[in-house]
Chain A
Amino acid sequence: MNSSLNLWVIPILPLAGAAINGFLGKRSSRQAVSTIALFFSGAVFAMALWVAMRFWFSSLTLPYHEYLAHWIRSGSFSADFAFYLDQLSLVMLLVVTGVGFLIHIYSVGYMWEDPSYYRFFSYLNLFMFFMLTLVLANNYLVMFIGWEGVGLASYLLIGFWFTKDSAASAGKKAFIVNRIGDFGFLIALFLLIKHFGSLNFDQVFQSIAPLAPETAGTGLLTAIGILLMVGACGKSAQIPLYIWLPDAMEGPTPVSALIHAATMVTAGVYMVSRSHVIFERAPTALTVVAIIGTLTAFFAATIGIAQTDIKKVLAYSTVSQLGYMFMACGAGAFSAGIFHLMTHAFFKGLLFLGAGSVIHAVGGEQDMRKMGGLKSFIPWTFLTMGIATLAIAGIPPLAGFWSKDEILWRAYQVSWVYWLIGLITAFITSFYMFRLLYMTFFGDYRGAQADAHGSHGHDAHGHGEPHESPMVMLVPLMILAVLSLLGGLVGIGNRFEHFLAPVFGSVEVVEGASHGTEMLLMGVSVAVALLGWWLAYLLYYSRPELPQRIADALGGFYQTVVHKYYVDEIYAALFVKPLIDGSTRILWQDVDRKIIDTAVNDAGDGARRVSDEARHMQSGNIRSYAAWIAAGSAVVIAFMVWMGSR
């Protein structure tokens, strides 16, 4: 029944694409580079579809294991290059390859005029390789390869325009902040090795499954869970490590869409869901996950209100939506989290690609205050972004409604506090997304008109009016729009949950009495979304003078929000500055220069001085050599006599 799927081909395909484009791309034409990039990413998507089809038509039983080669054998511990496919990784596989392929297509149009066209596609394919390794791994160590690899690809792509100082430092920031999270992840892996002797998912979960939940506060599983969550916080941009994601918007927009919205940042959610066996037996860790997720969702959403850079709004929105996913995981509703991960990949990918199309249209401008009235210039972008906005705001029956509502409902069952904060966040989400829509597409165009402005950004090309993007960029937008429209329907009647049930355990039977409550909550969240829409309409369409007055009235608080609660500044004062000062003063000037350098120099000087004396032995006079030999043997003999007489 399970003939070999050759899963290993899936990650290898994009790696081949990355290698070909990376090594040969510089000398090939743009057409050749795009053909290779699209061929390999398309082939991997086709293969993922084929696997899904085989599963659908029951010619494949999951979970499916594929052993490739052994890697580490050390005593009883072993880690292999092996792949694992179950319903969870199948969903991730389809999302990553599908959205990834669409964004590859889009990038052909978006990056066409970039001088490092080949480098971009090489990195993008490399990212696909690592992401697929992460998703398909059958043990934590192979997952960790992918985990670090996507971090690398993310770093390379954020700093893609590395000649720009801000891009280079944003890349470094992302990399370093991610390392902090990875540290937690690594320690969790060490704990797993120490106590369970394996990193293989099956073996670890089998040895954990019989354990009782650690209700009495803390324990080993709680520690492992919290450390895993630290890793997830880094990768998935949760409090307190979310600060890198908004800066990551320095990268090209397709990168923001693929890596920093749709796929890589969801790796943390995937990892936590994959480790659900651990979390389910560590209620404290689960609570930590829920609290972090809820706080992040709310906190990031409030920052999103006051941002004026179109990509920054979307970045904070991503952080906030990731918070929702962790809220779901923390509530034990892993399938709801994965469901939101999927729909979010559709609509947030679409929003970023749409934002890219907008930026493209206005010649590299990212400030929404200089946009406005674009809906008549770029109708297709407007239409698709409108759909995505409705989806993220949670207007039924679009994708975001189903998944977000599922999360809120499951959070409500755990505690009404999560639900309430989630609801307020949903309101804010709806508000800032429609604010973005109104500022960008409605009203009058406020951008520079017709003057040749080539100074903004990278892809600025002297042009007058905003213009619609080419078809190669619009088609992915349309496909994603359809997915954002319909993607949520797979969740009706808990079908998505049933699909994932083999991974996360059977669906809890919801007691009949609460069905009315569910409907009520659903109604409330829709009402809240509409309220946010109405408020945005009021403030940014019908009475555009109001926001400034409100901002003035709020004064200091508004400034705090605009400056993202000064978190970057606080971190700089609390961690970065002491670290740099400490490194400079103590490590560099004291330890390095005074201790290490001095020791090395003194050792060198001493050796020279001693050999200065010793070189007189080597006179070139044979008889003096003979004398030295005689003296030496006399010493040896004396020593031996002394030893013998003791």
Chain B
Amino acid sequence: MAPSYVPLSYYLLLSGFLFACGVVGFLIKRNIITIFMSIELMLNGVNLSFVAFAAHWHALAGQVFVFFVMVVAAAEAAVGLAIIIAVYRTRETLNVDQVNLLKL
């Protein structure tokens, strides 16, 4: 491995930091949109570790996996945002503590 590369552990630390930020945001935030963004943050944290490992081991599988995750995340964002809009229209709030019933 050439010394000019950034070491793997840096990537992993960043990835873990991003993931932890996502977890904390998911746990303490009330707004659905913020929670949603925290989830995206976690996904991207994981993605980062995937590509880091893929580059480190020269294996393509990790990069392929990242594409899958991105596709799923995009689909999730589309569906999730639609649901959030629907929720806001019916309940006029985005506070998760007040959205605790599936059916009104």
A interface residues, Cβ below 8 angstroms from B: 620-623, 626-627, 630
Name 9 extra pairs, CB < 8 A, besides A621-B100, A622-B96, A627-B27: A620-B100, A623-B26, A623-B27, A623-B96, A626-B23, A626-B26, A626-B27, A630-B23, A630-B27
Residues of B in contact (CB 8 Å), total 5
B interface residues, Cβ below 8 angstroms from A: 23, 26-27, 96, 100
Closest to A624 in B: B27
Closest to B26 in A: A626
Interface centre among A621, A623, A626, A627 (most CB of B within 10 A): A623
Q: How far is the CA of A622 from the CA of B100 in the complex (A)?
A: 9
Q: How far is the CB of B100 from chain A (nearest CB, A)?
A: 8
Q: How far is the CA of A623 from the CA of B27 in the complex (A)?
A: 6
12 A-B residue pairs with CB within 8 Å:
A620-B100, A621-B100, A622-B96, A623-B26, A623-B27, A623-B96, A626-B23, A626-B26, A626-B27, A627-B27, A630-B23, A630-B27
Q: How far is the CB of A39 from chain B (nearest CB, A)?
A: 74
Q: How far is the CA of A341 from the CA of B89 in the complex (A)?
A: 101
Closest to A622 in B: B96
Chain A residues closer than 8 Å to B23, beta-carbon distance: 626, 630
Q: Which 10 A-B pairs have the closest CB atoms?
A: A630-B23, A627-B27, A626-B26, A623-B27, A626-B27, A630-B27, A623-B96, A623-B26, A622-B96, A620-B100
Q: How far is the CA of A360 from the CA of B26 in the complex (A)?
A: 95
Q: How far is the CA of A620 from the CA of B23 in the complex (A)?
A: 19
Q: How far is the CB of B72 from chain A (nearest CB, A)?
A: 19
Q: How far is the CA of A627 from the CA of B100 in the complex (A)?
A: 17
Closest to A627 in B: B27
Chain B residues closer than 8 Å to A626, beta-carbon distance: 23, 26-27
Chain B residues closer than 8 Å to A627, beta-carbon distance: 27
Q: How far is the CA of A630 from the CA of B24 in the complex (A)?
A: 9
Q: How far is the CB of A641 from chain B (nearest CB, A)?
A: 12
Chain A residues closer than 8 Å to B100, beta-carbon distance: 620-621
Chain A residues closer than 8 Å to B26, beta-carbon distance: 623, 626
Q: How far is the CB of A237 from chain B (nearest CB, A)?
A: 78
Chain B residues closer than 8 Å to A623, beta-carbon distance: 26-27, 96
Chain A residues closer than 8 Å to B27, beta-carbon distance: 623, 626-627, 630
Q: How far is the CA of A531 from the CA of B41 in the complex (A)?
A: 116
Chain A residues closer than 8 Å to B96, beta-carbon distance: 622-623
Q: How far is the CA of A627 from the CA of B26 in the complex (A)?
A: 9
Q: How far is the CA of A324 from the CA of B34 in the complex (A)?
A: 101
Closest to B29 in A: A623
Closest to B35 in A: A623
Q: How far is the CB of A632 from chain B (nearest CB, A)?
A: 12
Chain B residues closer than 8 Å to A621, beta-carbon distance: 100
Q: How far is the CB of B45 from chain A (nearest CB, A)?
A: 13
Q: How far is the CA of A622 from the CA of B96 in the complex (A)?
A: 9
Q: How far is the CB of A122 from chain B (nearest CB, A)?
A: 64
Closest to A630 in B: B23
